[in-house]
A and B are shown apart, each in its own frame.
Chain A
Amino acid sequence: QQQVRQSSQSLTVWEGETAILNCSYENSAFDYFPWYQQFPGEGPALLIAIRSVSDKKEDGRFTIFFNKREKNLSLHIKDSQPGDSATYFCAASGTQVVGQLTFGRGTRLQVYA
């Protein structure tokens, strides 16, 4: 059973739209939720992260909405650009195991101009 589940393998939006990527998790001990962005031919890189004490984290056009009761979160990319086309990984970890992230399978986002 997947500990971190991303609901869509792929998502397509037009330039200027808001892309919404969804993620859910099983383990109640998870309290740190980063999103990693990966471009083709590159390694993943941290995009934005949230801790379970917060319900929202914003960084420019990127916002995480977090619902602890429902064990789900979403990444909103406002005013999507073609340069945002990448694979996005939702991940989770708990304070019990330092640094050991559990990754979702990723959502491939395509933004058309």
Chain B
Amino acid sequence: DMKVTQMPRYLIKRMGENVLLECGQDMSHETMYWYRQDPGLGLQLIYISYDVDSNSEGDIPKGYRVSRKKREHFSLILDSAKTNQTSVYFCASSFRDRAGNTLYFGEGSRLIVV
């Protein structure tokens, strides 16, 4: 069953608290991604991971960090969350072997920072 699973689906945090968003996939994909989606702004790439402990910044990495210790698992961490990090976060995964691979997205994690 090809699936990307995100936990938690909904989260409310106070400003300054730490946030952990977790993502798992069962397709043995090498590459995993974290995006955020805001109304009118589309999908913005935060981080990309090419494999275990091989992570690269995307377009908007400031305020975020990631961890990938197992191929099937990719975490997004917000140290001291800010109100402007209120958003819907999507994890995705794909094979790495060639350009033009399909991205498989999870259902999203809605984060509200108050």
Interface string of A5-27 (1 = CB under 8 A from B): 00001000000000000000000
A44 in contact with B48 given A99-B31, A99-B103, A104-B42 (CB within 8 Å): no
| Chain B CB within 10 A, most for which of A32, A42, A98, A104 | A98
Once the chains bind, are B107 and A42 in contact (CB under 8 Å)?
Answer: yes
Once the chains bind, are B107 and A105 in contact (CB under 8 Å)?
Answer: no
Q: Which residues of B have CB within 8 Å of A36?
A: 103
B94 interface contact, C-beta 8 A: yes
Number of interface residues of B (CB under 8 A): 27
Once the chains bind, are B96 and A99 in contact (CB under 8 Å)?
Answer: yes
Give Cα distance in the complex from A105 to B107, angstroms: 18
Give Cα distance in the complex from A101 to B99, angstroms: 9
A105 in contact with B41 given A43-B92, A99-B31, A99-B94 (CB within 8 Å): yes
B109 to chain A, nearest CB (A): 10
A/B interface sample: 14 pairs, CB < 8 A: A41-B107, A43-B92, A46-B102, A51-B100, A93-B100, A95-B99, A98-B96, A98-B98, A98-B99, A99-B31, A99-B48, A99-B94, A100-B45, A105-B42
What are the 4 A-B residue pairs with the smallest beta carbon separation, nearest first?
A43-B105, A105-B42, A32-B100, A95-B99
